[in-house]
Amino acid sequence: MRMQLMTWQEVENYLRTSTGIIIPIGSTEQHGPTGFIGTDALTAEMIAWEVSDITGGLVAPTISIGMAQHHLAFAGSMTLRPSTLIAVIQDIINSLARHGFDRFYFINGHGGNVHTVNAAFSELYAETSLKTASTDRPPIRCVMRNWYMGRAVREVSNEIFGDDEGSHATASEIALTYFKYPEDSARIAQFNLDPPRAPEGNIYDAEDYRSQFPDGRIGSNPSRANAEIGARLMKCAVTEMADDYRDFVDKA
């Protein structure tokens, strides 16, 4: 169930049976010549929607813009500063908590979000601990799961891609989007990547990133990606996260 496709009465009814909610979070940033700018948001939400089908958990609107300052030298990339993203997450959770949601399960598709999302969780817990949260806010719990770090996902990725997985515009994330969006992927997938596997290295600011990684990829060879592998990885991610979501919302 996607909250955007429900009425307020349906959400109110849902809250009588569950106070858990799944929040996909991604990014809007370049993913090299063969990957969509929306990759990180598209992967997070496609997994969230299927986890919802299995568990009955409600899915919030996707947070599609993340912390991606290092990608800004490539056209189309957008970022929220860490301080902005923290504020966005605080406001989203406080809005939902006002209605009675108290278990927030973030499915994340972007490594650059990790520190900032965890900082946002700490800000929210600090509101409780310092007694500055609204007095009627229920005690909240927040977790973030990076789908690409799941055990089963890693196993399949290691087996199929090995070192070609890389760390940005990875073979796995691009495979997932090729599975979900075959028509658009047919347009971009044939681009000849040179070199096939991109260089590895550390990330600093946007200009430095572009000079070190001129086509936008880091360490990956996404020419190995295809829809069939994407379907397999998707199944791994969804199965793991469905179990994990149930545990999270059921735990007292």
- The binding site for Ni ion (CB under 5 A) comprises 39-40, 173
Is the Cβ of residue 33 or residue 56 nearer to Ni ion in the bound state?
33
Rounded-to-integer distance, Cα 98 and Cα 119, Å? 21
Place of tokens 């179990």: 243
Is the Cβ of residue 21 or residue 41 nearer to Ni ion in the bound state?
41
Which residues contact residue 203 at a Cβ distance below 8 angstroms, ignoring those fewer than 6 apart? 70, 209, 218
Is the Cβ of residue 39 or residue 185 nearer to Ni ion in the bound state?
39
CB of 249 to Ni ion, least distance (A): 27
CB of 43 to Ni ion, least distance (A): 7
Tokens of 100: 């009675």
Is the Cβ of residue 43 or residue 52 nearer to Ni ion in the bound state?
43
CB of 176 to Ni ion, least distance (A): 10
Largest alpha-carbon pair distance within the chain?
58
CB of 229 to Ni ion, least distance (A): 16
Residue 23 near residue 245 (C-beta atoms within 8 A): no
Is the Cβ of residue 40 or residue 50 nearer to Ni ion in the bound state?
40
Q: Which residue is nearest to Ni ion (CB)?
A: 40
CB of 144 to Ni ion, least distance (A): 15
Rounded-to-integer distance, Cα 66 and Cα 25, Å? 7
Tokens of 152: 């089963």
Cα separation of the two ends of the chain: 24
